[in-house]
Amino acid sequence: MYNNQYDKFYEILFEHSELAIFIFEVIENRDNNLKQNYDYKFILTNTLHQKLTGISLNEIQNKTLWELNHIIPIEDLTRIKKKYDECVLEKKIIDYEEEIIIKNKTTYWFTRLVPVTINNKVQYVIGMSIDITSKKSLEIEIENYYNLLTNLLNSSPVGIGVVDKEYRLIYFNNNFLKIWNLSEKDVKNNKLVLFKVLKQVQNRKKVYPKILKIVKEQKKGLIKYLKLNKKYIQMEIYPLKDKNNEIRGYIGIYIDRTKDYIQEKQLIKALKEAQLSNKSKTEFLANISHELRTPLTTIMGLTELLENQVSNELLKFIKMIQESASYLKDLIEDILDLSSIELRTLKLNYKPFQLNKPIDLLVKTYQIHCNQKNIDFYFNTNFQTFPIVKGDEKRLYQIINNLLSNALKFTSIGYISLSLFKLKETDKEIFIEIEVKDTGIGIPEDKLPYIFERFKKFDEFNINPKGVGIGLSLVKEFVQMMNGTIEVFSKLGEGTTFKIHLTLEKADLLSLDKLEELTTEELIEQYKSILENKRILIAEDTFEIQLLLRKFLSDTGLIVDIVSNGLEVLEKLKKNKYDLILLDLRMPVMDGIATFLQIDKKIKEETPIAALTAHAMEEDIKKTKEIGFTDHITKPIKRKELLIHIIKILLNS
């Protein structure tokens, strides 16, 4: 075969080629029907072919194709012969990929067959192959992964659609078709399919701008509900970017949220109904509070007036009435606080105060109460000088009072103690511990986790059935609002200890309220010049309270006019000039709010107007301040408290 001067070069190329080369001779046979038939005898293979196939030249040289059936299965040889025949008969180069089992090992090849023609007949064929087993294995693996991914995506409960940057749909899964009521025929080669999809959206005027904004910003985004005929679909958009951060398209994920939408609507409806119910409850509480406070004002006021005018025996009965009224007042306050907490309208009022001020009052009060029950009361502190702090003095008092009140209820032998300790101090803050301890009946261990729950009562021995079970609940709420902590330790039959830890902000200055320290008589005497001949107009529709207010203010030097409704207030203002106006908010004919709004602007600028009312909810106080009332005085009110309010208003005006 090598018959020219270049034989040596061809031999070098043949042996050192990166191709597996094999050469076979074409043997022509003719059957009885003169039909051409070919056989192929292998002449030569290069070293790489022998290495890759594992077939030595001795095993293949001068062997026909069919004589290799002990190396290659007959079905593979049959398939190979068809390719050889095609090359010989058509006298053309043939390229193909093939899978062959060689010596029981599956291999993959890319083969080129080149015919060598002599005298217009193909005498030889040169085969050049590349082993693509690794490549083919990788392709098969990729295909398997692709099929697995396709199955996963088609089994996914969400619809997935991918568009290129021209918004042409390039991928979709089965659920995409199902959600959008499409078939593969609708989608195939349809450049406008995305617009066909979005045309189904019934709330498109609302959602289109959101979709465009997400696409424009090239960020992922979510459209909660696309409204279809009977479906509500959630759409998630994710940008597809290349390694250069250039947009190549978008992935759309579509989730059928119809059930969620219906449930959400039902929840919203239930929430509105709950809010309406809560509002009704709040209105009921406000109304019942108003109705209770009005007679309480009369009871507390009249008993206060009677204190200095009756015998010692009757004075005991009056004190009992006052204690019951005070208890009822505290109960009303607790219920209103609880309601305000539920409505999230209760806010702490942070102001500077002397830390010992609420403590001193509580110590004096409970020393008397404990003395009446023949038990001891102790107060302990490590403060040398009580600091001025910033906080809600009223709520701090309420916290400690509720704990002491509980201790008093359930302690009949032994003692109650109140302790106030400074744990540490910085330039800006002071850390305190408040401890209330008693030797009362105690709380069962299994009930301790529940004592701060609302309306829970754990009087195992039914010693003191009073109360509705909200005092401790309020204590915990207030402590948490102050960012503090509360702990309880108790043993049945031995007593209970509550420990509260609070961090209070230090305050530099405090304008001490000297008025609180004076008696009623001292107030009238010291502020006589402020009170004397000042004209006050009071609007109050309840006859008993009118009588009480007249008596409260009779010896103060004030000139008092009292009317029963807002229209009478407006008539009085046409005739007289006043230094102070007190308005009840709930009155017949014209209420306090309507009256305030009807009063001439000039009069409002010159004359302070305060609410004197049984409306005590936080929102009531907020409302009167927003409208422009100077002060909000809450019933029931004692004589001294009323005088302090009046003096402060007149001083400020």
Q: Are residues 175 and 41 in the same domain?
A: no
How much of the chain is in helix, strand and coil states, percent to nearest 5?
45, 25, 30
**Does residue 391 lie in a domain region?**
yes
**Does residue 643 lie in a domain region?**
yes
Residues 541-582 pLDDT 10s: 888 888 888 888 888 889 999 999 999 999 999 999 999 999
Q: Are residues 490 and 351 in the same domain?
A: yes
How far apart are alpha carbons 330 and 296 in whole angstroms?
11
**Does residue 191 lie in a domain region?**
yes
How far apart are alpha carbons 211 and 194 in whole angstroms?
13
At residue 415, φ and ψ (nearest 5 deg) are -155, 165
Question: Is residue 404 scored above 70 in pLDDT?
Answer: yes
How far apart are alpha carbons 446 and 490 in whole angstroms?
11
What does the pLDDT read at residue 286?
Answer: 63
Contact predicate 629/611, CB 8 Å: yes
**Does residue 378 lie in a domain region?**
yes
Contact predicate 450/444, CB 8 Å: no
Q: Are residues 525 and 618 in the same domain?
A: yes
Out of 506, 536, 558, pick the residue that ends a domain: 506
pTM above 0.85, yes or no: no
Question: Is residue 458 scored above 60 in pLDDT?
Answer: no
User: Cβ-count burial of 501 within 10 angstroms (0-12 exposed, 13-18 middle, 19+ buried)?
Assistant: middle
- What burial letters (b/e) apply to 577-604, b meaning 16+ CB within 10 Å? ebbbbbbbbbbeebbbbebbeebeeeeb
What value does the mean pLDDT take over residues 158-172? 85
Beta-carbon contacts of 27 under 8 Å, excluding residues fewer than 6 positions away, are 38, 39, 40, 41, 64
Residues 228-278 pLDDT 10s: 888 888 889 899 888 888 888 888 888 888 888 888 888 888 888 777 766
Here the CATH number for the domain that contains residue 63 is: 3.30.450.20
How far apart are alpha carbons 398 and 474 in whole angstroms?
9
Q: Which residue did the predictor score with more confidence, 133 or 379?
A: 379
Q: Are residues 118 and 166 in the same domain?
A: no
**Does residue 268 lie in a domain region?**
no
Q: Are residues 475 and 563 in the same domain?
A: no
**Does residue 423 lie in a domain region?**
yes
**Does residue 327 lie in a domain region?**
no
Domain with 541 in it: 521-652
What is the domain count for the chain? Answer: 4
Q: Are residues 481 and 382 in the same domain?
A: yes
The closest of 124, 106, 172 to 25, measured between CA atoms, is: 124
**Does residue 632 lie in a domain region?**
yes
What does the pLDDT read at residue 512?
Answer: 47
What does the pLDDT read at residue 468?
Answer: 44
Q: What percent of the chain has pLDDT over 70?
A: 84
Show the tokens assigned to 250: 């978008």
